[in-house]
Structure 1
């Protein structure tokens, strides 16, 4: 088996980049191509008739043909490529589609010009193929190479999202329309008052859940400040000053930032082993010297997608929010800002929607999946990073190699799938269940208020008892309830309670008793 494309280039240039989900090889003994499973990845095997030379430049063409454009690979290659040889290769066929793409990629990523004259003829071609990637519809035309840059990002920060069959199906889903459809199933019981009360609760739940994901004990003041930030999503332009303002709202006073961090930062935990204290480093943020340019690229990517307005809003929210958390621009608060950004971008793209979908509550129930999707970027990155912890200087991180391209040019395909899954889970559980619970409480309270005048505290307790019994007061609770409602009237209340609980459970397929116990 002979490596082809990125596998070849990885070895040829000694890049030590982690392998891709799809690698390409050539079988010199096979008359036809085939695909095979190879551990956690797949191999596309070309037949012996696919003549690909050992030239690294021909292999660059093969990489794009068979595996698409992987920006982090080309960014790493262009740091070490023989520019004269590369230029000569382009010059042999300057009008070739793949040569023009390689030419443009080099000048765009490096911000340096090759010693080549501008093209005088030929049609414009797209940098990324719309069939396989999410792109902007009106990219910038480069007159020199006649390539249209339809990437969703910029030189400083450019994530990619591949149009896999599953992602294309997910992208058809409008999560807000799905949420409205689920809520409308509750029919006549749904009212503006019920929606308003549920929205207030969901903002609070999202605030609490986002804090708990960080494994922190929620602080009342921080919770209130984060809640206020969430209630103002979409009202302000998303830029550096706004992000710093949000960071200041959600961290301790001592951790408030006035600018991006100037030192290296890591996420980890302290482990005590045999009397020694060790730091288990899970992730290291982008080098401090690159944070400004990467965050500038992130905001320009957001602006680019806002103006284009064609990428599904939830994919837009995913690439911006995960971009922030991987860059890690602040010493503290990055995780909560990341989840705040999902809501803020969604609100900016679709301001007509009046309620929040509590995605953090769904993530909190699926932290293993969340860790897994975060590690799809962090594990390969950390495997390449060379660093030390300076034990004499509060375990400050010292980074020895610069792999900025791993932060600048991520693939967020898996992240998009995860965010859709969490949004759908949040709709079917947190959102709909909360509205259903409010309706159930209201209807049972109405039936009790018609026959008895009971103080609110006791009334709420009685309603809770009835819901926990699925419409029936258990024997152990009857003495308490009978202090306020006599046995004959209680039968009527129980019948009405059973009826509303049955309606709710059949309508939205949930167990009210379990919902009450959460």
Structure 2
């Protein structure tokens, strides 16, 4: 079998790009196309009768036809291409659809014009096919090539999301409607007050969880500042100034920024072994010289998606938040800003929603899955990056693979974010609402049958709920000094009924939730 498309181009130009999840090969004896397992990856095997010339330009056609546009490949290829030969190839058939796409991509990605006259006539074609990619609904027409540029971003930063079967199902989901629908099943006991108090608790939980992901124990003042930032998402336009302001709120005084970082940065762990100290480098951020342009591209992407409005809000939030964390624009706080941005973008897109869904808490419980999705980008980058640590453990980057940072595929990231949102709704939002609903029902019963101050009511209910609806013999004497024996018995009966009802309806153990929080 011989390589076709991107597999061919990878070898021809010695790009050393990690292979795609599915590589295309041609079998001269095959009569029909088939997908085969090839170790841990897959191969799309195309039949021998299909004609692809043994030259890189025809193979570019094959690449787009079989696997769509992979921007990082073309950005790498155009750094090595023979421009004279490439120009001649385009001029041979300048109105060909694939030639026009290649022509447009070259000028868009490199900022350089080919020696080709503008097309005077021809129907406009879309750069990305809507059937296979999420695109801008209203792309920009390039009169020179007569290509409609419907890419989500710019040459500075342009991620893609492929329309796989699974992703196409997700874009119909509304996480807030899902959350409301699940809460409504509680019934008439659900109140606006319960939802409001749940939200306040979840703001605090989101703040704490986002910090714990970074394995940090910040002081109370910084936790409060981050809590305030989370509560005020969507209040300011998303730009460099507002992002630096958030960074300054959530990091230690010595790490506060007035601009993007001025040096290279990496994420790693220190390994101590037999008196030696080594650094295990997990990920290296984009080269410092490219950070400003990539962040400008990130903000332009955000603007495009806000104005266009056709990409689902949670897809939009995924693109912006993960874009920031891979670029790593600051010396500290990048991870917390990344998770803050999910909420900020969602609030920009859907300002009518009055509560957040605590995704950081869900991520904290699914750290391995979080690491796996991060590695879909970080592992290929680290495989290609030529770097070293100097005597002060500062990182030195010896090659430039900016295209790996500028043109990522975030398809897997969208799946992950939806999964974590769904988990957060079931494991955190719904649990808290159920706990408060039980608490309020029991509190109402006490208020109707006894005269106790709130602090005593809270103490009584904590004891009863933590013990599954009953009062232990050791505690009964104490509680009977506050409540009549008959009232206490009826309270136990009601508590047991409510706890069981919640368990049957939602498979939520209110007792476990209460014990976890206390």
Partner SS, residue 467 of structure 1: helix
Match of 2:303? 303
Provide the rounded CA distance (Å) in 2 between the counterparts of 1:41 and 1:299. 35
Are the counterparts in 2 of residues 317 and 346 from structure 1 also a CA contact under 8 Å?
yes
1:517 partner SS:
helix
- Give deviations 1:34-73, integer Å, cap 9, x for gaps: 1101123211001111121210111111000001100000
1:469 matches 2:467? yes
Residue of structure 1 equivalent to 2:514 = 516
Q: Distance in 1 between matches of 2:40 and 2:470?
A: 53
Q: SS where residue 401 of structure 1 aligns? A: coil
Match of 1:193 in 2: 193
Partner of 2:290: 290
Q: Does 1:404 align with 2:390?
A: no
Contact 1:317 1:342 in 2 (8 A): yes
Superposed CA offset, 1:172-198 (max 9, x none): 101111111111122211222212111
TM-score (norm 1): 0.98
Alignment-derived partner of residue 417 in structure 2: 419
2:447 maps to: 449
Alignment of 1:50-449 (within 5 A): 50-391=50-391, 394-449=392-447
The offset of 1:476, in angstroms, is 4.1
Conserved in 2, the CA contact under 8 Å of 1:21 and 1:40?
no
Q: Distance in 1 between matches of 2:511 and 2:474?
A: 17
Q: Distance in 2 between matches of 1:163 and 1:477?
A: 59
Query: Shift of residue 33 of structure 1?
Result: 2.0
TM-score after normalising by structure 2: 0.98
Q: Which residue of the partner structure matches residue 501 of structure 2?
A: 503
Aligned to 1:44: 44
The residue matched to 1:216 in structure 2 has which SS?
Answer: coil
> Quick one: distance in 2 between partners of 1:254 and 1:327?
21
Report Cα offsets for 1:77-136 as digits up to 9, x if no partner. 000011111111111111110010000000000000011111111100000000000000
Distance 1:362 1:483 in 2: 42
Retained in 2: the 8 A contact 1:23–1:43? yes
Once the two structures are TM-superposed, the CA of residue 468 in structure 1 deviates from its matched residue by: 2.3
> 2:487 is matched with which residue?
489
Q: Which runs of 5+ in 2 are unaligned?
A: none
Please tell me whether the aligned partners of residues 385 and 401 of structure 1 are also in contact (alpha carbons under 8 angstroms): yes
Match of 1:189, SS state, is coil
Residue aligned with 1:319, SS: helix
Q: Secondary structure at the match of 2:141?
A: strand
SS at match of 1:188: coil
Conserved in 2, the CA contact under 8 Å of 1:125 and 1:147?
A: yes
Instruction: Give secondary structure in 2 for the equivalent of 1:148.
Output: strand
Taking the aligned partners of 2:39 and 2:438, their CA distance within structure 1 comes to 51
Q: Which runs of 5+ in 1 are unaligned?
A: none
Instruction: Map Cα deviations across residues 279-321 of structure 1 (whole Å, 9 max, x no partner).
Output: 1111000000000000000000000000001100000000000
Instruction: Please provide the CA RMSD for this pair.
Output: 1.2
Q: Which SS does the other structure have where 1:450 is aligned?
A: helix
Matches for 1:16-55 after TM superposition, within 5 Å:
16-55=16-55
Residues 327 and 407, structure 1, Cα contact 8 Å, conserved in 2: yes
Contact 1:127/1:149 (8 A) holds in 2: yes
CA distance in 1, matches of 2:39, 2:153: 32
